[in-house]
Structure 1
Amino acid sequence: MKTVLLSPRTGAITVGEIPAPEAAAGLVVIRNDWSLISAGTERATVSTGAQSLLGKARHRPDQVAQVLESVRRTGLAETYRTVQDRLDRPVQLGYSCAGTVLRTGEGVDDICPGMRVAAAGARYASHAEIVAVPRNLVVPVPDGVDTQWAAFATVGAIALQGIHQAEVVPGSRIAVIGLGLVGQITLQLLRAYGYDGVGIDPDSAMVALAESAGLVAFPRGADGLPGAVSRQWAGADADAVLITAATSSSDPVEFAGLLARDRATVVVVGDVDVAPPRSSYYHKELTIRYARSYGPGRYDARFEEDGHPYPEGYVPWTERRNLAEVLRLLATGAVDFARLKPRVFAVEDAAGAYEALKPSTAGRSVALLLRYSATAQLPSRPAPEAGSRAWTAPRGTLRLAAIGAGNFATRTLFPELEREPGVAFSWVAGGRGLSAAHQGRRWGFRTVAESVDTGLASGDADCVMVLSRHDSHGRYAARVLRGGAALYCEKPLGLTETELEDIADAWLISGAPAMAGFNRRFAPSVRDLRAVLPAGAPLQVVHRVFAGRLPADHWYFDPGQGGRLLGEVCHFIDTAGFLVPGRPVGVRAVGVDARDPAAAQSLTLQITYDDGSAASIVYGGLTPPGAPKELLEVATDRVAARIDDFRSLTVWKGGREVTTKYRGGPKGHAAEMHSLVRLVRGEPLGEETAAAADFASALWSSLVACRAARSLTEDGVVGTAPRTPALARALGCAAPGPGAAGAVPKPGGQAAYPAGGSSSTTAAR
């Protein structure tokens, strides 16, 4: 499908081809008829993109601060790679569109295929033939409203939110400073609700446009303008002033102070410098308020992406209701966006549309619309797979496919795989398609699959790498195995025991090789440590991690993503399990800041094993930047050892202290990818590598992580015996019986993770 793309490096606008988005849970897939270019917001975005790096830095000092923090945290080289990657990654533009629903995802019950709808949201309601938008950002278009004008609903909601923030009553006197797109719509809304509105702009053409719609407007520039506005209101001043201008100057805020009456409200809707002069704001005791985009719910992932509603009694005017209200006013004829005289461009000529945003002698365009042919279609869904395909070892070139191609995959895994001889990238799929298309071209994938379904159904891969977000790992991993391909799945393997059971079942039936992304097993320091530990001896393991605080809006804290325990702490559970000879039998988790696994940032875990070993994991998720990241210490019979940030291993044994240094602190990714290639090809791995690649032990680690989450919630020790049949078979345990879910098994004396499936070997040293 066609979509409009911006190059962050150059500011160039192109129309590219990317796969259509999928109808994931909570999403509405829409075929666009129209999308609106926001002259102010998008002109600023394109202008920033066209600037030099220094110009970009001057324009976005907040991002400069982020870069400097990244340099301090991860180093100059890694930060440079991150910045260059972002500059090379195209961006979809647009946030206001309207069209026809093609499909809906699970959980969407009030929007149906065939409906005409308006949609909002940057990254969602883009300038593209087909978009996928969360249901709380989609509203039906009333009968009688042309879809062309429904495409204005998002910008109308921005204007409406500004009026709500003013908290005025009908008949109030309201001045609007700035008569661009938002200002023009604001004036129309004010008239529709019975307010006495006056618009002000330095551009006489914008004043004339407002007057042609029957609105009251004045040109900005004359010294006596405040008096002229006052005379319009028979000597009175404004009850509220809405600033819808976009400028780096503080002049609109200063001018608002002259127009406002005593104790009036000034609402900042546009992007202006806010430096109120004391002479007016203090003496009039004015209130400054901000209007945040389309209304309550904006930037709240739980509302926008997860679909959680706000209680109407407390938050009646959400962004979704604002959108619907603008459409209602269109249906009644109270507002008429045709009076904005928009210029119309075909989506294929998007570059020309953005060129029209630039200042020219022809004048300023307040509104530009992109028109779509309405012929784009979603790819047909592949027929459901019947049963499972048998695993067949590859011959010749090893074909690798990827579901997801985010930062970790492109910076860490793909470069290592690219160095492997006889490996070819087959297909890539995932997300809304843009990242897959960009990274597919960058890394030389032969095909950008139309969807994950079509990629898996093609059979064109010997191994599929699941590199998507955490909540999709379990279902994709099981489907890969049942489809007859080898599996590499980034951690976590699954977020629930139900998902782990499904994966275990698929693995046992398929016989396909499988590996989980627990890379620390492959770290040179961890492998060297394991080699010096006495065989079969019980261990004391302490793994301390200063992970640092994540912002509250980080995607890890989306309840559907499992939180830091399931998404990160599983790494350290696995590292301890890789070193300890015995099986885990019980786990106790304590949250320092929360007992909710999805919310907890700092955790302490105690894991016991059937050979008498014990592991303590201290995960500090509230630590400050700059603290050393990981410290792993092991004690056993006449041996002690310490790994410091993977840069050094010190072993105390036989009265000697030996320290080994590791340049760059490798965490095992290179060895992990090399082992994956050899595993899928069926090449000999060697005892230590086979133990690291063992999938059964990865299932054990994942199961312990799930039980740790339960322990955190229940505030007690939880047993780790598998309670479902496939997991029990995969882990070599007895069939689960009644009560197996929570009881702590008695020590059984087995000294290794059990074998299971074709890629498993005994982990005993």
Structure 2
Amino acid sequence: MKTVLLSPRTGSITVGDIPAPEAAAGMVLIRNEWSLISAGTERATVATGTKGLIGKARQRPDQLAQVFDSVKRTGLLDTYRTVQSRLDRPVQLGYSCAGTVLRTGEGIDDIRPGMRVAAAGARYASHAEIVAVPRNLVVPVPDGVDTRWAAFAAVGAIALQGIHQADAVPGSRIAVVGLGLVGQITLHLLRAYGYDGLGIDPDPAMVALAESAGLAALPRDADGLPGAVCRRWASGGADAVLVTAATSSSDPVEFAGRLARDRATVVVVGDVGVAPPRSSYYHKELSIRYARSYGPGRYDPRFEERGQPYPEGYVPWTERRNLAEVLRLLATGAVDLSLLDPRVFGIEEAGRAYEALKPSDTGRSVALLLRYPGTAQLPTPPAARADSRTWSAPRGTLRIAAVGAGNFATRTLFPELKKEPGLAFSWVAGGRGLSAAHQGRRWGFRTVAETVDTGLASGDADCVLVLSRHDSHARYAAQVLRTGAALYCEKPLGLSETELEDIAEAWRESGAPALAGFNRRFAPAVRDLRAALPPGAPLQVVYRVFAGRLPADHWYFDPRQGGRLLGEVCHFIDTANFLAPGRPVAVRTVSVDAKDPATAQSLVLQLTYDDGSAASIVYGGLTPPGAPKELLEVACDGVASRIDDFRSLTVWKGGRPATRKYRGAPKGHAAEMRTLLRLLRGGPLDAETAAAADFASALRSSLVTCLAARSLTEDRVVECVPGTPALATALGDPPPPAVPATEVPGTQEQTGGSPSTTAAS
């Protein structure tokens, strides 16, 4: 399908082809008919892209602060590579569109295929033939409303939220400073509600556009305060001023203070500088309020992405209701957006449309629409196979496919695989398609698969790397094995014992090689430590991790993703299990901040083993930047040892320490990828590498992690025994009693996008 792409490095606009997105749970797939180019927001985005690195930094000081923070955490070279990678990654533009529903994901019952809908949201309601949008950002289009005008709903909701923030009452006098697209729509809404609205703009063409629609508007004169405003509102000025301009200057906010009456409200809607002068704001005791885009729910992933509603009694005007209200006003005829006289371009003319955003002698365009042919179709699902395929060793060049191509894959795994001879990247697939398309071209994949199912059905892979978000790992891993391909699955293998059971069953049936992404098993420091420990000796293991705080909106905290315990702490559980000679028999988990595995950040785990070994894992998820990440200490009879952030290993034997340093603090990713290729080629493995590559032990560590989550939830010690038959068989344990397996709370499945690099990667 076609989509409009921006190059963050150069600011250039292209129309590219990428796979259509998939209908994940809670998502609505829409075939666009129209999308609206936001003259203010998108012009600023494109303008930032045309600047050099210094100009970009000045334009986005918040992102510059993130870069400095990254330098402290990961170092200058790693941060530089991350910045360069992001600059090379194209971005989909657009956030306001309308079209027809093609398909809905699980959990949606109020929107059906065939319905006309309007949608909002950057990264979702893009300029593309088909878009995937969360349910709470989609509203049905009423009968009688042309889909063309429904595409204005998101920008209309921005204007409406500004009016809500003004706390206007019937008869209020409201000034609108800035008559771009949002300002024009604001005036239309004010008239629909019967307010006394007045628009002001220094551009006579924008004033004329408002007046041509029968709206009250005035040009801003040379001294900055039109005398006509005083004559219109002789009683003292505006009850509220909505600032809908877009400029880095604070002049519009200063001007708003001069227009406002005593104790009035100034609402900042547009992207402007805010430096209110004391002379007007203090003396008039004015209030400044901000309008948050489309309304309450914006920037809250719980509302937007997970579909959690707000209580209507406390939050009556959510962003979804604002969208619906704009459409209602269009349906009643109270608002007529055709008066904006938008320019129309076909999707293939997107480059020319964005050129029209630039200032020119002919004036500026306030509204631009992209039109779509309406013929794009979702890919036909491949025919289901009646039987599972079993593994057959490849001959010749190894074909590697990937599900997901996020930061971790492209910065860590793909570069290691590229170094190896006799290997070819076959196909790549991903959630929304854009990342897969970009990275597929960058890394030389032969095909960008329309869907994961399409890629798997092609049979064009000897091994598939599952690198998607955590909630989809188990489903894709079992699918891969049942197609007869070998599997590499990033941690965690699964988020519940039921998911692990499915993987174990598929693995046993297929006979295919499988490797889990527990890379610390392959780290040189861990390998050397195992060699220094006396065979079979019970161990004391203490693993301290200062992982650092994650922002509250990080995708790890989506309950469907399992949280940091299931997603990161599994690494350290696995390392302890790999070192201890015995099998884990019990686990106890406590948290200092939450009892819910999905939200807990700081945890302490105690593991006991059948040979007398014991392990303590202290995971600090609230620690500040700059703290040392990982410290692993292991002691047994006559030996003490310490791995310090994988930079060094010190072993005390006979009273004299011996220290070995490791350049680059390798955590085992390179050795892990080399081992994967040896497994695929059937090459011999030494005993140490074979132990690290053992998939059954990875399943056991994954089981222990799920049971650790249960321990936290139930506040008790949990025995580390499998409760499902295929998993028990894969682990070589006695068959469990015939009782239903239980799910870890809050770990439902849903397809996600590509994971980003985290502290434990």
SS at match of 1:107: coil
The yes-or-no answer on 1:530 pairing with 2:530 is yes
Structure 2 residue 609 is the aligned partner of structure 1 residue 623: no
Match in the other structure for 2:199: 199
Cα distance, 1:169 vs. partner?
0.8
- Aligned residue number for residue 752 of structure 1: none
Q: CA deviation at 1:740?
A: 11
Flag the structure with more relative contact order, 1 or 2, with Cα contacts below 8 A and sequence separation at least 6. Answer: 2
User: Which residue of 2 is the match for residue 669 of structure 1?
Assistant: 669
Gaps of 5+ in 1: 743-765
Partner of 1:225, secondary structure, is coil
State the secondary structure of the residue aligned to 2:396: coil
Aligned to 1:346: 346
Which amino acid in the other structure matches residue 92 of structure 1? Q
**Per-residue deviation, residues 43-72 of structure 1 (Å, max 9, x unmatched):** 000000001111111111111111111111
Aligned ranges for residues 232-251 of structure 1 at < 5 Å? Answer: 232-251=232-251
Q: Which residue of structure 2 lines up, in the alignment, with residue 135 of structure 1?
A: 135
Give 1:235 deviation, angstroms.
Answer: 3.6
In structure 2, the residue corresponding to 1:42 is in which secondary structure?
helix
- State the partner residue of 2:295: 295
Closer/same/farther in 2, CA of residues 346 and 741 from structure 1, 3 Å limit:
closer
The match for 2:599 is: 599
The residue aligned with 1:188 is 188
1:392-423 CA-to-partner distances (Å, cap 9, x unmatched) read 11111110000000000000000000011111
Deviation at 1:386, TM superposition (A): 1.9
Tell me the equivalent position of 1:555: 555
The letter for the 1-side match of 2:426 is S
Q: Secondary structure at the match of 1:262?
A: strand
Is 1:321 aligned with 2:303?
A: no
> Do 1:719 and 1:741's aligned partners in 2 also have CA atoms closer than 8 Å?
no
How much does 1:225 deviate?
3.2
Q: Report what 2:51 is aligned to.
A: 51
Q: Secondary structure of 2:131's partner?
A: strand
| In 2: Cα distance, 1:637 partner to 1:729 partner | 34
1:50-449 aligned within 5 A: 50-223=50-223, 225-449=225-449
Q: 1:17: which partner in 2?
A: 17
- Matched residue SS, 1:600: coil
8 Å CA contact 2:728–2:736 kept in 1: the answer is yes
CA contact (8 A) 2:584 2:607 kept: yes
Contact 1:722 1:740 in 2 (8 A): no
Corresponding position of 1:479: 479
The amino acid of 2:33's aligned partner reads D
2:758 equivalent in structure 1: none
Deviation at 1:738, TM superposition (A): 6.2
Which position in structure 2 is the counterpart of 1:543? Answer: 543
* Contact kept? 1:399, 1:423, Cα under 8 Å: yes
SS of equivalent residue, structure 1 residue 169:
coil
Distance 1:705 1:224 in 2: 65
Q: Which amino acid aligns with 2:684?
A: P
Alignment partner, residue 724 of structure 1: 724
Which residue number corresponds to residue 8 of structure 2? Answer: 8
CA contact (8 A) 1:207 1:219 kept: yes
CA–CA separation in structure 2 for the residues paired with 1:608 and 1:675: 30
Greater mean alpha carbon deviation, residues 166-175 or residues 404-413: 166-175
CA distance in 2, matches of 1:385, 1:302: 37
CA contact (8 A) 2:591 2:602 kept: yes
Q: How many residues align?
A: 742
What's the counterpart of residue 569 of structure 1?
569
Residues 530, 219 of structure 1: CA spacing in aligned structure 2 closer, same or farther, 3 A cutoff? same
Offset of residue 385 of structure 1: 2.4
Q: 2: CA distance between counterparts of 1:567 and 1:235? A: 62
| Structure 2: distance between partners of 1:466 and 1:287 | 52
Alpha carbons of structure 1 residues 224 and 555: separation in structure 2 relative to 1, 3 Å? closer
Instruction: Please give the secondary structure, in 2, of the residue aligned with 1:697.
Output: helix
- Superposition deviation, residue 245 in structure 1: 0.3
Q: Secondary structure at the match of 1:572?
A: helix
Partner of 2:458: 458
What's the C-alpha RMSD, in Å, of the aligned pairs?
A: 1.1
- Where does residue 753 of structure 1 map in the other structure? none
Q: Within 2, Cα distance between the matches of 1:741 and 1:437?
A: 39
Q: 1:224 to 1:368 in 2, by over 3 A?
A: closer
Letter in 2 for 1:398: L
Shift of 1:222: 3.7
Question: What CA deviation, in whole Å up to 9, does each residue of 1:217-238 have, x standing for no partner?
Answer: 0001243735311211344411
Distance (Å, rounded) in 1 between the aligned partners of 2:153 and 2:662? 58
For residue 40 of structure 1, what is the aligned residue in structure 2?
A: 40
CA deviation string 1:150-190 (max 9, x = no partner): 00000000000000001111211000000000000000000
Q: State the alpha-carbon separation in 2 of the partners of residues 84 and 692 from structure 1.
A: 34
Letter in 2 for 1:59: Q
Q: Write the letter of the residue equivalent to 1:462.
A: D
Match of 1:584 in 2: 584
Q: Counterpart of 1:708?
A: 708
Q: Look up the equivalent residue of 1:475 and give its one-letter code.
A: R
Question: Deviation at 1:655?
Answer: 3.5
**Cα deviations across residues 425-483 of structure 1 (Å, max 9, x unaligned)?**
00000110000000000000000000111011111100000000011101111111111
Q: Assess if the C-alpha contact under 8 Å between 1:722 and 1:741 holds in 2.
A: no
1:642 aligned to 2:642?
A: yes
C-alpha contact 2:96 2:120 (8 A) present in aligned 1: yes
Gapped regions of structure 2 (runs ≥ 5):
743-761
CA contact (8 A) 2:93 2:122 kept: yes
Counterpart CA distance in 2 for 1:440 and 1:739 is 45
In the alignment, which residue of structure 1 is the partner of 2:683?
A: 683
SS at match of 1:46: helix
Deviations 1:62-118 (A, max 9, x none): 111111111111111001100000000000000000011111111111111111110
TM-score (norm 2): 0.96
1:545 maps to a residue whose letter is V
Structure 1 residues 609 and 38 mapped into 2: Cα distance closer, same or farther (>3 Å)? same
Aligned with 1:161: secondary structure? Answer: helix
Q: Which letter does structure 2 place at the counterpart of 1:179?
A: L
Deviation at 1:713? 1.1
Contact 1:721 1:740 survives alignment (8 Å): no
Percentage identity across paired residues of the two chains? 83
Residues 296 and 317, structure 1, Cα contact 8 Å, conserved in 2: yes
Asked whether the 8 Å contact 2:498–2:741 carries over to 1, the reply is: no
Q: Deviations over 1:651-708 (max 9, x none)?
A: 1113332111111110000000000011112111111101000000101110111011
Is the Cα contact below 8 Å between 1:30 and 1:103 reproduced in 2?
yes
Say which SS state the counterpart of residue 263 (structure 1) adopts.
Answer: strand
Note if contact 2:497-2:741 (Cα within 8 Å) is conserved in structure 1: no
Question: Does structure 2 retain, via aligned residues, the 8 Å contact 1:226–1:258?
Answer: no
Of the structure 1 ranges 704-713 and 651-660, higher mean CA displacement relative to structure 2 is found in 651-660
Provide, for residues 539-598 of structure 1, a one-character-per-residue CA deviation record: whole Å limited to 9, x for no partner: 100011111111111111111111110010000000000000111110000101111111
CA contact (8 A) 1:226 1:259 kept: no
What is the distance in 2 between the residues matched to 1:286 and 1:64? 33
CA distance in 1, matches of 2:336, 2:451: 40
Amino acid at match of 1:213: A
- Three-state SS of the structure 1 residue aligned to 2:383 is coil
SS at match of 1:82: helix
Structure 1 pair 224–518 and aligned structure 2 pair: CA distance change class (3 A): closer
Letter in 1 for 2:179: L
Q: Work out whether residues 501 and 727 of structure 1, in 8 Å CA contact, stay in contact via their aligned partners in 2.
A: yes
Distance apart, 1:322 and its partner CA: 0.4
